[in-house]
A and B are shown apart, each in its own frame.
Chain A
Amino acid sequence: MKGLAAVARTGLDAVMRNPLRSWAVVTCIAAVLTPFVAGLGISRGLADQAETAVAFGPDIHVTGERLGREVPIPIAAAAMVSDVPGVTGVVPRIVAAIRLGAGSRPAVLVGLPAAQFPVAAVSCVDGRLPAAGTTNELAVGSQLARQLDLDVGATIPPFYRNDREGERLSLVVGVFRSDLPVWEASLVLADLETAARIVDARGLVSDLLVSCPREYRRAVRAKIMQLGSLAPDDPQGPIRPSVLTREEALAMLPEGVLERERLFNLHFVLAFAVAILALMVTSGVGLSERRHETGILKALGWQTDEILVRGLVESAVLAAIGASLAVLLAFAWLGLMNGRGIASAFIAGADFAPGFDVPFRLAPEPILIAYVLSFVVTSVGSLLSTWRAATASPMDALA
């Protein structure tokens, strides 16, 4: 055992003996792994935020369906749903895609009854929350505010068309804080009436947010489905309710958020394949020094397995340094530089320099995989050449 430890220690010497090669290997590993670790970090951070979004969302989410597609539902359906036994509250909501500013920046308009905004929610914005009234009061997302140079008190020229009431200026009364979940970035929050005015769809909402005790969820879901139509008087036919409980929404999450992670992993499989070839060149194949060195060790009486242990230790040290550097660089990239450059690859709609706090979490499993991959890449590069030299006779190796 003592002999093995001594042999292993010579692996450290081998790292120091070829500083240029060692630096090249460490740099290659860090260069390949840093975006991999950073990307997976964002993916996990986003997945965590998505879980929170569902966990703190409505108990039951109701939308309308016609011709197999989502359609707006009449606001009167809120009363129908609130009459269902077990329902403790129904909040109608408008969620609409709009465009703002000279660059037609995409934004998400959300309209909710201002009277039902939680009091504590004022901490989410700089300024205040929008109120109901004839003025279009809006709270805008942090990235949108930065893109359009909006601040509290700014006015936005009419950006919509309303043939019945005409168009009006809108007033920014609040800007969302950048440390909230990412979906605030392009959000435009308004009172329900204001949102209805902007999208010119009076009496219609996108969805109903239903509250009910946990034990009644399944029964309430079934009862809402039995309503048959959310617009019974509509001459164009029924609008069928589409109901989603919180548990069902949670079950859908992994499919959506982590799909990008899988594609990202696929790209990195290709990157690692290239890295193995690159490291074979830099760390072993083609370097006559390694062959010469192995020949000397063999001539001094070293066994093949001892030479391989020495090579393994050298690879393990280089892999550990490279992977650790990658983790620290990814941490700095995401934490200090807010994922500049890489966030937009995972979060569609994010700027090169995101205007919001990029969520990230360096989960232990991908980090462990990064270390293992790093070791595999390094050892494949160096062990092959070491083994070929070690199995040759010392004369051949020294030739």
Chain B
Amino acid sequence: MTTIADKLTALAAVKEAQRVALSLGTGVPFAEYVDNFPSGGTPEWTPLDLPLSAGLVGDYRPWDLSTLFQDAAGTIPVTADGQPVGLILDKSPAGNHLSTLVLAQRPTYQTDGVKSWLFFDGIDDLLTSATVMPLMQTFTLVAVVKTLYSGGASANIFGQFLSVFTRSLALRTSSVVQLNANIRSGGANFAFLSGKGLFPVDQQFGLSYIPSIVVGSDKIAHGYLDGSLASTQDASASIATGADAPLFVGRNAVFNFYGGAVFTTALSSVDRLKVEGYYGSKRWVS
């Protein structure tokens, strides 16, 4: 007959075996064994490891089910492929959680068992932060997206947005499929003016990309695609101060969102590449 003492002894042996396998000290709580060391002993670098001065204000990881809920109040967890997402928690200290109270605006959690993402329907799916923050003057946006369709001529898909006050990754399809930056402070609209393309024009629907936008105090917009500099553009005419605005993901393009981050500073190339690599690994991880 197996006693409770026998079960506890067996459980302790399992825990100890895992601790040894992961090369952990005895002081590490068991609850942290898996989450913090998914690759088997090497702590996984995350954007949270950057210094606070980097200004991480949004860190969204749709593969982390502990951050996804079906309702905006966060009472019904997402547990399976195909469920709607009414709230994705921000992993950054800023707590800019993205949510919607409107049933029809919820994107869909999808997974193939290895990779996970949020599917935005391009009609009305939209998650925004309940809080607003000053319109960013310097910033870095990093996202991993699969562009699927954009029926509109232009669509903002990730970043900071309030009407004509925008710092976002965008997708336009007026004549070609093109990821872009939309930087606007009530006046000139950087992204959708002719000749202002920040990324090459040969993106294709159905493929995934890691676009990054970096704007420093020199007001020059840098577009990076899959880690490489695509182009630089003068954004000084559209980077003025403006109304406070929330963060968001969604709007009028059909796309898969594999994760992304928002920083209020222009990251160094080293740090940007680390951030891109972090989210990118979730796109290709096998």
Say whether A associates with B.
no
A interface, CB within 8 angstroms of B: none
